[in-house]
Amino acid sequence: MVQLNFIDFIDRKGINTSTIMEDLTVALLDQYPGIDVYLEQDEQGPPTGNPINIEIAGRDFDLLLSYADTVARMIEGSGIQGIEALKTDIELGKPELLVEIDRDKAMRYGISTMVIASTIRTALFGKEISDFKVGEEEFPIQIRLAESYRSDLANLMNQKIAYVNQATGQMGQIPISAVASFSYGTTYGSVNRINVERVVTLYSNVVAGYNSTRINQQINQLVKDMPLPQGYSLRLTGEAEETQDTANFMLLAMLLIMSLMMIILVTQFNSFIKPLIILASVFFSIIGVFGGLATFKLDFVIMMTGVGIISLAGVVVNNAIVLVDYITLLKRRKRAELGIEEGGLLPPDVAKECIVQAGKTRLRPVLLTAVTTILGLTPLAIGLNIDFVTLFRDFDPNIYFGGDNAIFWGPLASAVVFGLAFATLITLLIVPAMYQVAARARANFLRKRMMNDE
């Protein structure tokens, strides 16, 4: 294994490590017969498995290898870009020595197959026969053939096996070659099992500059309709499985947060309509996140972008609460001025005036909250770096863009910036409109009920 460590981003003068990885891939991949080269980036955080990992499970190992070869040829012939080189986790062509016991001859001498196999195993790998004690320490004693005899096939097969002559009752010895023969063959390096099933895995790295999630989606579309007999299955695991698990976790966390917000808002506003209007701004902010990522062609990082969306929900809800709560306050004051009981209907023009007045009054705090948050996270989103030590010491801020921190935290900041910018417009425009529509619907419903009562 050869590990390359790069100097800090600021000292590389704009050189991208992904470009170097692409050059190494072209220079080393499939250039040397009999040598498999596998290039990968240093893992940051918990292991996620191979970027491309296809597991084919079933009973018949030869059939599994056949299906693995078929899948590999399908993927290679599909033209999917970004796959470095598909490999299998099975080592084929491993030489082996097959010892075949002649059971009829062994039976004539009264020798069991277990004795023959045990003799060969003891000669090669040894057998523990006793312990050697030195004080309180115990050391196992193993017996086996010397290295020169273990490496000589003739000496190995000519080992003597003791037996009892069933006719005379006397002890005798015969060589292993008298009751067994050998032949050369090939086998697999190992047989892997997952949940008791035999599994053959196709795996590959992703060429720098390509998105592994997109490649896995293309592979899934390619192989999902592949006919497999009963008892055989094909599944994408590795990084794709970890990504799916993370996405499910983030979705569950988002639903849980929305549920808790809904419960708190319902108890505070004593209404179901107002919390729904407030939470609607969260869904509009998610539209802003995906729209911003698509517009600027940025990657959607499941974990960090998901955390950004979840953190964004708190800011967006806060702005909507400020606006809806002030509308409710103005309507309560108008009812008091007009002598209308709590919860009674206001004249349509008065209700509309309350909404317009609330929008004007709360415009500044909503914009201040959004703008300060957006401006505060923009340097992190674009990867702006400033060295404050050299700034105050040498008056040299040493400004540059990019770096490891920007790669890790950038998706979170970008999600908040895009979502909050879009959600602010939604809060100021659509939330008051939704409130007006809900108020009119409630007024019409109450009027119809009053008319029915009369």
Residue among 248, 229, 232, 230 nearest 240 (CA) = 248
Given a contact cutoff of 8 angstroms between Cβ atoms, the answer to whether 335 and 350 are in contact is: no
Assess whether 390 and 299 both reside in one domain: yes
Domain assignment of residue 350, yes or no: yes
For every residue of 252-264, DSSP letters joined together read: HHHHHHHHHHHHH
Tokens linked to 433:
């409109």
Helix (H) or strand (E) holding 56: strand 52-58
3-state SS of 97-126?
A: EEEEECHHHHHHHCCCHHHHHHHHHHHHHC
How many domains does the structure of the chain reveal? 3
Domain assignment of residue 216, yes or no: yes
Return the pLDDT at 57: 92
Residue 194's beta-bridge partner residues?
197
Residue type for position 411: P
Tokens linked to 426:
């939604």
Residue 446 has pLDDT above 90, yes or no: no
- Of 266 and 49, the one with more pLDDT: 266
What CA–CA distance (Å, rounded) separates 29 from 81?
Answer: 15
Helix (H, G, I), strand (E, B) or coil at 279: helix
- Of 182 and 404, the one with more pLDDT: 182
Residue type for position 1: M
Domain assignment of residue 223, yes or no: yes
Stretch 186-194: mean pLDDT, rounded?
A: 78
What CA–CA distance (Å, rounded) separates 315 from 321?
Answer: 10
Given a contact cutoff of 8 angstroms between Cβ atoms, the answer to whether 179 and 109 are in contact is: yes
Domain assignment of residue 3, yes or no: no
Q: What percent of the chain has pLDDT over 90?
A: 19
Q: What confidence tens digit (pLDDT) does each residue in 26-61 have?
A: 788 777 777 777 777 776 555 567 889 999 999 888
Assess whether 213 and 248 both reside in one domain: no
Among 237, 269, 298, the domain-final residue is 237
- Of 372 and 45, the one with more pLDDT: 372
Which residues make Cβ contacts (< 8 Å) with residue 347, sequence separation at least 6?
A: none
Assess whether 25 and 170 both reside in one domain: no
Residue type for position 267: T
Q: What confidence tens digit (pLDDT) does each residue in 95-107 have?
A: 888 889 998 888 8
Q: Burial code of 103-129, b = ≥16 C-beta within 10 A, e = fewer?
A: eeebeeeebeeeebeebbebbeeeeee
Domain assignment of residue 311, yes or no: yes
Assess whether 336 and 281 both reside in one domain: yes
Return the pLDDT at 54: 93
Assess whether 61 and 23 both reside in one domain: yes
Q: What is the mean pLDDT of the chain?
A: 86
Q: What confidence tens digit (pLDDT) does each residue in 107-138 have?
A: 888 888 898 888 888 888 888 888 888 888 88
Return the pLDDT at 393: 87
Among 167, 187, 207, the domain-final residue is 187
Assess whether 286 and 393 both reside in one domain: yes
Domain of residue 400, CATH code: 1.20.1640.10
Assess whether 142 and 276 both reside in one domain: no
Assess whether 266 and 370 both reside in one domain: yes
Q: What are phi and psi of 383, to 5 degrees?
A: 75, 30
Domain assignment of residue 1, yes or no: no
Q: How many helices (H) and strands (E) does the chain have?
A: 14, 13
Given a contact cutoff of 8 angstroms between Cβ atoms, the answer to whether 145 and 191 are in contact is: no
Return the pLDDT at 210: 82
Domain of residue 198, CATH code: 3.30.70.1320
What CA–CA distance (Å, rounded) separates 309 from 143?
Answer: 66
Return the pLDDT at 40: 75
Domain of residue 142, CATH code: 3.30.2090.10
Residue 243 has pLDDT above 90, yes or no: no
Stretch 139-158: mean pLDDT, rounded?
A: 86
What CA–CA distance (Å, rounded) separates 238 from 55?
Answer: 9
For every residue of 173-238, DSSP letters joined together read: EEEGGGTEEEEEEEE-S--EEETTEEEEEEEE-B-TTS-HHHHHHHHHHHHTT----TT-EEEEET
Return the pLDDT at 266: 92
Helix (H) or strand (E) holding 16: none
* DSSP summary character for residue 83: B
What CA–CA distance (Å, rounded) separates 172 from 163?
Answer: 5
Q: Burial code of 48-59, b = ≥16 C-beta within 10 A, e = fewer?
A: bebbbbbbbbbe
Return the pLDDT at 416: 93
Q: What confidence tens digit (pLDDT) does each residue in 285-300 have?
A: 899 999 999 999 888 8
Return the pLDDT at 431: 87
Return the pLDDT at 151: 83
Assess whether 301 and 263 both reside in one domain: yes
Q: Which domain holds residue 397?
A: 244-453
Q: Burial code of 279-318, b = ≥16 C-beta within 10 A, e = fewer?
A: bbbbebbbebbbebbeeeebebbbbbbbbbbbebbebbbe
Domain assignment of residue 407, yes or no: yes
Residue among 339, 327, 305, 331 nearest 418 (CA) = 305
Assess whether 419 and 324 both reside in one domain: yes
Assess whether 284 and 431 both reside in one domain: yes
How much is the pTM? 0.68
Residue type for position 237: T
CA 42 from centroid of its chain's CA atoms? 16
Residue type for position 35: I
* DSSP summary character for residue 40: -
Return the pLDDT at 239: 83
Q: What confidence tens digit (pLDDT) does each residue in 383-434 have?
A: 888 888 888 888 888 887 877 777 788 899 999 999 999 998 888 888 888 8
Residue 144 has pLDDT above 80, yes or no: yes
pLDDT tier for residue 242 given thresholds of 50, 70 and 90: confident
What CA–CA distance (Å, rounded) separates 213 from 242?
Answer: 11
Assess whether 71 and 98 both reside in one domain: no
Describe the chain by its helix, strand, coil percentages, rounded to 5. Answer: 55, 15, 25
Domain assignment of residue 127, yes or no: yes
Task: Tell me the CB-side half-sphere exposure of residue 200, using CA atoms within 13 A.
Answer: 25
